[in-house]
Chains A and B, each alone.
Chain A
Amino acid sequence: MSAESANTIPILRVNGLTKTYNSAGSPLTVLDHVSFDIPQGISCAIIGPSGSGKTTLLGLCAGLDQPSEGGVELAGNPLNGKTEDQLAKIRNQHVGFIFQSFQLIPTLTAVENVMVPVELRGGDYQTVYEKAIVLLKDVGLGHRLDHYPTQLSGGEQQRVAIARAFINDPEILFADEPTGNLDTETGQQVESILFDLNKRQGTTLVIVTHDNELAAKCDRIIRLKAGKIERDELTAEATSAEAVTPELNA
Chain B
Amino acid sequence: MDLFSLKTAWRDARSQLGSLLLYCSGIIAGVAALVAILSFRADVLLTVDEQAKELLGADLEIRHNESFTETHEAIFDTLSAHQARAVEFSSMVIYGDAGETRLSQIRAISGGFPFYGEIKTEPAGASLRYQEEGTALVDRPVMNQLGLAVGDSIQVGSARLEISGKILEVPGESAAFSLIGPRVYLPMSAIEGTGLLQRGSRVQHKAYFAFENEADVRAIVSNIRESEGTERLRFTTVESRKDDFSEIVDNLTRFLGMIGFVALLLGALGVASAVYVYIKRKSATVATMRCLGVSSSQTLTIFSIQVIAMGFAGAAVGAVIGVLVQQFLPLLFMEFLPFEIVQALSWPSILLGLGTGVLISLVFALLPLLSVNTIPPLLAIRSADFSPLAHIRKRVFSGIIVMALVVVTGVLALLIESVLAAVAFMAGLIIAILLLLGVSKLLIFALRRLRLPAFSYTWRQGVANLFRPNNQTAVLITTLGMGMLLIGVMSISRDMILDRIAFQTGDEQPNLVFYDVQSDQNDDIIRLAEENNASVLQNVPIVSMRLTELNGRTIQELRDDEESNISGWALRREYRVTYRSELNDAETITSGQWIGEADGFDSVVPISVGQQIIDELNASLGDRLTFDVQGIPVETEIASVRDIDFQRPEPNFFVLFPSGVLEPAPQFFATVLNVSGGPDEVARLQQVIVQAHPNVSALDIGLVLESVRTFLEKIEMAVQFMALFSVLTGLIVLGSAIAISRFQRIKEAVLLRTLGAVQKQVNRIQMIEYALLGLLASLAGLGLSLIAGWLIAWFWFELAYVPDFVSLAITTLAIVLLVLAVGALNMRRISGRKPLEILRTAEA
Contact = CB atoms under 8 A, between A and B. Distances in A.
Nearest to B465: A107
Contact of B838 (A85, A89, A103, A150): A103
Interface stretch (B574-582, B597-605, B757-765): B757-765
A101 interface: yes
A120 B761 contact: yes
Interface in B825-842: 834-836, 838-842
Contacts of A164: 755
Contacts of B468: 106-107
Interface in A95-144: 95, 97, 99-101, 103, 105-108, 112, 115-117, 119-122, 125-126, 129
Contacts of A121: 756
Interface stretch (B416-424, B436-444, B745-753): B745-753
A108 to B, nearest CB: 6
Given A100-B842, A103-B842, A120-B457, A84 B753 contact: yes
Nearest to A63: B835
Contact of B756 (A93, A105, A115): A93
Range of interface residues on B (Cβ < 8 Å): 35 or more
Interface in B446-474: 453-454, 456-457, 460-461, 464-469
Contacts of B457: 115-116, 119-120, 122
Contacts of B755: 91-92, 97, 116-117, 120, 164
A92 B836 contact: no
B790 to A, nearest CB: 36
Interface-centre pick from B460, B754, B755, B834 (highest chain A CB count, 10 A)? B755
B680 interface: no
B843 interface: yes
A119 B760 CA distance: 14
A92 B756 contact: yes
B520 interface: no
B748 A129 contact: no
Contact of B758 (A89, A125, A177): A89
Contact of B754 (A55, A97, A115, A126): A97
B751 A105 contact: yes
Contact of A91 (B460, B467, B754, B836): B754
B838 A125 contact: no
B843 A100 contact: yes
Contacts of A120: 457, 752, 755-757, 761
B280 to A, nearest CB: 13
B194 to A, nearest CB: 78
A148 to B, nearest CB: 9
A65 interface: yes
A83 to B, nearest CB: 9
A69 to B, nearest CB: 17
A59 B836 contact: yes
Nearest to A106: B469
A124 to B, nearest CB: 10
Nearest to B837: A64
A176 interface: yes
B839 A85 contact: no
A58 interface: yes
B385 interface: yes
Contacts of B460: 112
A66 B82 CA distance: 92
A88 interface: yes
A177 B841 CA distance: 13
Contact of A59 (B465, B469, B839): B839
B385 A108 contact: no
Nearest to B753: A88
Contacts of A58: 839
B748 A105 contact: yes
Contacts of B467: 107
Interface in A49-81: 55, 58-59, 62, 64-65
B460 to A, nearest CB: 8
Interface in B719-749: 744, 747-748
B131 to A, nearest CB: 79
A108 B467 CA distance: 9
B339 to A, nearest CB: 58
A12 B843 CA distance: 24
Contacts of A85: 758-760
Nearest to A94: B756
Nearest to A149: B469
B58 to A, nearest CB: 72
B640 to A, nearest CB: 70
A115 B757 CA distance: 13
A15 to B, nearest CB: 20
A164 B751 CA distance: 12
Contacts of A117: 755-756
B464 A55 contact: no
A156 B65 CA distance: 90
Nearest to B759: A85
A85 B754 CA distance: 10
A92 B834 CA distance: 16
Interface of B: 385, 453-454, 456-457, 460-461, 464-469, 744, 747-748, 751-761, 834-836, 838-843
Given A107-B469, A120-B756, A122-B456, 6 more contacts: A62-B754, A65-B835, A65-B836, A84-B834, A85-B760, A91-B835
6 contacts: A88-B753, A92-B756, A107-B466, A115-B457, A129-B453, A177-B842
Q: Which 6 A-B residue pairs are closest in the complex by CB-CB distance?
A: A92-B756, A119-B457, A107-B464, A125-B453, A64-B835, A65-B836
